[in-house]
Amino acid sequence: MIPGGNVDFNQLTTERLFAVYAYMKAKQKTNVFHMENDNMLYYDLVTLMHRMHRCRVNLGFSRASSFQAVLSFLYVRNAAILEHFLRYTIEVFRLGRSKAMSYLQTKWINDMTIASRYLDLFASTSEQSRLSGIFQLPIEFHSGNCCICINSNEKEVIVFDARSLGQYFAGDYWHPNVSFWIKSDLVDPRGELLTWVRKNKGLLVPYIRGKRIVQLHVHSKNLQQFSSRSNNQPTGTGYNFTLLGD
């Protein structure tokens, strides 16, 4: 969302998922990755798809905080599993505003809060995810003890960025290049550094604590700064820091 942007932003971010579902149904598509255009991708999607298959992931996205999941990078195995999520979304809206706020335990009713509650119900534990096929894509860079993070066929540990890394290393739209972190976020990147490693075809890929970052959610929209073809990728924070939250 940007200043002066579409006033129906939250409605459109929910409607886009119905568009993805309609496309998958009409074209009989499977193994779809949906990525917002302020994300930078650093991982081969075919290789990532194989990871998803080995871990039996049907639907995967990242949680940013205890009450927000971010659908900026989404894996969908088939239309049926996305339909499951969309039916749940419809049921939340059918509650009406007052009951929905009570159910979600927040005044914000949007794709992020609904998706977070959905993860609570179907992906709150690794065992629950194995049974449901619904997974939280790993964001924690302090450990790698999960199937998607690392498995026998892929030795390299990977992490995803819901928003915390992109905001901390790139700032937000209003204050680009000013480190930004929301205290309620599950990941705290303060004091961390990015390491850029040259991979196939000479492309540079970011790592944090030795773990490969699949994608960065760059809210500041300074995508070129984080391009694998650039020679000036940031490794640390800017000169100022903004903290949101109590």
Query: Does 238 score more than 60 pLDDT?
Result: no
| Rounded CA separation 177/161 (Å) | 17
Query: Does 239 score more than 60 pLDDT?
Result: no
Query: Does 3 score more than 60 pLDDT?
Result: no
- ∠ CA 142-73-229, rounded to 5°: 80
Chain segment 138-173, per-residue pLDDT in tens: 999 876 668 888 866 667 899 999 999 999 999 888
Q: Are 207 and 65 in contact (CB under 8 A)?
A: no
pTM over 0.85: yes
Looking from the CA of 105 toward its CB, the CA atoms found within 13 Å total 7
Chain segment 108-130, per-residue pLDDT in tens: 999 999 999 999 999 999 999 99
Q: Please report, for the chain, the start and end positions of each structural domain, with discontinuous segments joined by +.
A: 9-38+45-136, 158-244
Q: Are 244 and 163 in contact (CB under 8 A)?
A: no
Query: Does 87 score more than 80 pLDDT?
Result: yes
Q: How long is the chain?
A: 246
- pLDDT at res. 9: 76
Tell me if residue 190 falls in helix, strand or coil.
coil
Higher pLDDT, 241 or 2: 2
Chain segment 88-99, per-residue pLDDT in tens: 999 999 999 999
- pLDDT at res. 147: 87
- ∠ CA 170-33-19, rounded to 5°: 105
Query: Does 243 score more than 60 pLDDT?
Result: no
**Mean pLDDT score of the chain, rounded to an integer?**
89
Q: Are 37 and 216 in contact (CB under 8 A)?
A: no
| Rounded CA separation 160/172 (Å) | 18
Candidate from 18-32, 40-54, 55-69, 221-235 with smallest mean pLDDT: 221-235
Query: Does 31 score more than 60 pLDDT?
Result: yes
Residue of 215, 166, 205, 158 whose CA lies nearest to 187: 166
**Beta-carbon contacts of residue 2 (< 8 Å; ≥ 6 apart):** 173, 221
**Beta-carbon contacts of residue 35 (< 8 Å; ≥ 6 apart):** 41, 72, 73, 74, 215
Residue of 188, 162, 199 whose CA lies nearest to 241: 188
